[in-house]
Structures are given as structure tokens and as C-alpha cells.
Amino acid sequence: MHPRSSFKAFLEVVKSRSLPWKDFEMDAIHSLQLILRNAFKDVETVDVNPNAIHVKLSDLKIEGMQELEAVTSEMVRLIETATVPILAVDVDGLVNGWNTKISELTGLPVDKAIGKHLLTLVEDSSTKMVKRMLDLALHGKEEQNIQFEIKTHGSRSDLGPISLVVNACASRDIRENVVGVCFVAQDITGQKTVMDKFTRIEGDYKAIVQNPNPLIPPIFGTDEFGWCSEWNPAMTKLTGWKREEVIDKMLLGEVFGINMACCPLKSQEAFVNLGIVLNHAMTGQVSEKVPFGFCARSGKHIECLLCVSKKLDSEGSVTGVFCFLQLASPELQQALHVQRLSEQTAVKRSKELSYIKRQIRNPLAGIMFSRKMMEGTELGTEQKQLLHTSAQCQHQLNKILDDSDLDTIIDGYLDLEMVEFTLHEVLLASVSQVMIKSNAKSIRIVHEAAEEIMNETLYGDSLRLQQVLADFLAVSIYFMPTGGQLTIAANLTKDQLGQSVHLVHLELRITHAGGGIPEGLLNQMFGNDIAISEEGIGLLVSSRLVKLMNGDVRYLREAGKATFIISVELAAAHKLRS
């Protein structure tokens, strides 16, 4: 049979077979080698009659060379277009074959690979293995499914080495001498990456679960058939049973059960409930922590919370369950007790505060009614001013009583009002709230502000500004020495925003004698201290209100006196009068 006929018959056979690509390529190479060798043998076995030898030899040379050329071309095409990596070396180990697939995987072009020694192209960790496989193949011993790693080059060098599973095929000449080795490979880089990651995760899991660190909770588990497959050091310490004593025993019945179990349960109902929880987890149902009690080896009864979760393999199939126990330590029990007391105290104080607020509103309503009745009588200018100041204080008190959530102010989410007012009326209302305290300490309050500033028509939240000033005045007087002087100064500048609206920058200075406010209280005002006092919460709220007005608060200490500097932004309808 001619080589072309043999090759056609070979193609028909391999088309009818369902082989993996790697095995198919190996069969193809072996078969094509046999075809080539048989073709040369056909030339050697022709009729040697002297009368016909020259004619026969001439005809066979031409026909044989044509057929061999066709078969060789098919073999080259088969190797070059293969979807698996194929490379070949000569007897010296130098690369003389490098197909498109391996060039694509490694980033090394064919012209750069040809002539290089194979051992220079593989990873150092694989050199010994590849050298052994090469030596065996050159001696005619072909190995299969050998795994090694080969280097990457160029743009693919950052991706790391390629992992291959290789079959070695010895290349022979017509005299059956090995003249090289052809390697047909399968790229398993992706699978190896997954397996390496799985190995790392499995190692991390074992390192965590089997760690004797007291922070690791008691953990046990079962496989899909209910046999105990996990029992960590924390479980050994808790129950008194060693890992080797419970592993491969039935979790329900032998480890946890009613009679003759390692860890007896208190009742049949507890046994049934444990089985239900485990079955729910096995079927993928998420369960909450459930109370769980059993007896340890020492006879001590253990009460804890049980949390069960399913265990999955790489394909997502359930292979068992993990069980975690949560124990309430004495420290945790004490912390929970303190937390409950704190919550009860907070609820109690909240109720007390709600009661006080409701009780304040009743007499406040009476004061407001009395004020309105007085406004209907004949009053002098000074009396009307006093009533107006009283009304401003009442409005401020109503607004403060409505502040049910201080976090809204502290976090900066409070909505400010925009009303018309003068600085004069705000200062009068603020000062009136500290007059009783200042008179008791013989403290004189002095105003240092131009009349045009005091009477300028401003727009903003006058009641919140009034609340801020009253709080800073009160704390200043509290820490002042008796018989001192407190000075209030004001400065106002404008930026024009349009034809009729101006942005007002108002700065107020409250200067008082003495050493000033304690540093700890100032830290509370700026939110730098977690433990906050009653005075501190007032200053903190006032500083946040100032910030909501696009301003800030500073506190300066000088020799023998200290100053609050309060700056806010307001609006004005017209320029300052000259």
C-alpha cells in the first residue's frame, strides 16, 4: 500500500475514534512515523532483477518522494494546527519543533525557540524531571502524563509559568534509531491555579480549626453520611473527649445521644431537635442559633448556643455540616448584665426626661398666657421691652423642648429657620437668662457694640443664636471670680451677594476675668472627650449650632482673662448706615 493510501486509511480510522486531543495527537504522530518508515521499506524491497532495477528504482524514487512529501506535509500541518501544545527536540535536546499553540501559550515565537535547549525553557523546579523524561525517551522509554512547568516570555511573562501534562514520543529513523523526542502536552495552568488555591484554603481552614488559640470556638462536624469528621481542640477542652476518640463515630447516637453516648443529651426531645437542625443545614436551610445542652466527660452540664452551616465541595455539592458552639463566659455574662442595666437606666432616664418636658410645658403655657394678658394692658416703653424679652426666652424654651434627638444637631442635620431680627433683641434675651447668676456673684456685664450694629436688621435663626449666646454667657459666669466684669463685643462685616442681599459676617466676643474654663470641659465642647458632663453637652450642642450657621467657636486665654470668639454667617437687606 502506498504512503498516501496508508495516510488516507489512517485519517478514516482516527475520524471514527473519540480520543482526547492529547491522545489523538500521540496516535497521529506514531501512525505517521510508521507510514514514513514503511514507505522507505517499500523502496528497499523492490524487485532487484538487473534488467528492470534502473527503471523501477527511477519510477519509485519519483513516486515515493511525491508520496512522502505529501505525507510529511500532512504531518506538519497536523502538528502546526493542533489545539494542544506540541514541541520536539533532537538527540542533543535542542528544540527542532515548536507549534503554534505552545508559542501562543508561552509567548515565545517559533524562530526564537528553535535551537534552544529544552532545559533552558522549563522552570528550574521542573529541570530534573524533564531531564529524566528526555533521557528515558532518547533510550526508547516513553513516559506519559508527566507534569512540569515551562517559562513564559514577552508580554506573557507577567502571567507566570505554564503548567503542562506531557506525553513523550520517541522519533525514530528507518533503522529504528531514536533521533529525537516529540512531546504532546495539555495545558492545565487553569486547573493547577484552582487546585493551588483550594490547597491554600484547605490549609488555612485546618490552621484555623485545629488552632488551640482560645479565641477559636468549639467546632465539630459531620460528613454527608452523619459520621463525625471534625473535632477541634476547643471541643476537646470543653468535652474532655479527644479527637481520635470521636472521629468516624456517628454524631447522632454515638457522640451526642441518650444512652452510651460520649456526650449525653438531657432528653429524647433534645436528641430529636439536634437531628432536625443538622438535617435542615444539610438541605441548605439557614438556621438561627439554637440552645444546646449536653454533659461533658466529667459529668458537668454544658449550656451553649449551637450554629450549624453546610459544608460544600468545589462543585457546590453538600458534603456535610459544620457546627459551632458559643459559650457565655463569666466575663461575657457580666458584660451582658452591665449592658442590660445600662439599657434599663437609659430607658428610665428617657421616661424621666419625657415627664420633665411635659411638666415644663404646663407652667410655660401659663406664663405665656399671663404675658399675653399683660400685653393687652397699658404699658410703658420699658415694660413692653421686658415683655418682648420674656417672649423671646419663652420661644427659645419651646424650641429646646422640641429637641428630642440631640444627634440631629450634633451630626449637623438640623434645619435652621430664617426670620428677621436685630442683634439688640437677641443680646437682651440672652443676657436676661444669666442676670440672676451674675447678680449673685456681683458680676457686671458690659456691652461694647456700635448702635448701628445692634439695630441692623438681620435674617437667620435668632432663637438658636440666642440659645448659643446664653449658654456661653452662663458657663463664663460660672467659672468667673466674684466681683469681676464680663464684656460682650460685636463686629459686623458684609459681602454683597446681589442688588439687595448681603452676606453678613458677625463676630461676637465674650471676655471674662479669671483663669477661664477647665481644659477638660473645652475638650468636651469640641467633641474630643467621650465621657461628657451636663455642662459639656450644652457647650457641644452650642458649638454644633454655630457650625450649622457656617461659623465656628474659639477660646483664647490671656493673662487674667479668657475670651469666647463666636463667628456666624447671616443675611442683611441693606448696607450699614454711615
Domain parsing of the chain, residue ranges: 63-210, 212-328, 404-573
What is each CA distance from 30 to 3, 96, 164, in whole angstroms?
14, 18, 21
Same fold for the pair 63-210 and 404-573:
no
Helical (H) or strand (E) element with 21: helix 21-44
Q: Does the domain spanning 404-573 belong to CATH 3.30.565.10?
A: yes
Q: Which numeric CATH code is attached to 212-328?
A: 3.30.450.20
What is each CA distance from 86 to 98, 111, 183, in whole angstroms?
6, 15, 6
CA distance 155 to 355: 75
- Specify the residue for cell string 489523538: 24
CA distance 312 to 297: 31
One-letter amino acid at 558 equals E
> What one-character-per-residue DSSP string does 71-132 give?
HHHHHHHHHHT-SS-EEEEETTSBEEEE-HHHHHHH---HHHHTTSBGGGTB-GGGHHHHHH
Nearest of 162, 180, 160 to residue 171 by alpha carbon: 180
Residue 511's beta-bridge partner residues? 487, 563
CATH topology for 63-210?
A: Beta-Lactamase (3.30.450)
Provide the pLDDT for residue 331. 65
Residue 485's beta-bridge partner residues? 444
Mean pLDDT of successive 10-residue segments in the chain (578 residues)? 42 41 47 47 46 52 58 63 83 88 88 90 89 87 86 87 87 80 83 62 56 77 91 91 93 90 90 90 79 89 86 80 80 64 74 69 71 78 82 79 72 82 90 89 90 90 90 91 91 80 90 88 79 80 90 90 92 62
Show the beta-strand stretches assigned E in 376-439: 419-422
Cβ atoms of 568 and 506 closer than 8 Å: yes
Beta strand 457-460 with 561-572: parallel, antiparallel or unpaired? Answer: antiparallel
CA distance 198 to 191: 10
Provide the pLDDT for residue 53. 47
Beta strand 228-231 with 219-223: parallel, antiparallel or unpaired? Answer: antiparallel
Nearest of 133, 208, 193, 204 to residue 163 by alpha carbon: 193
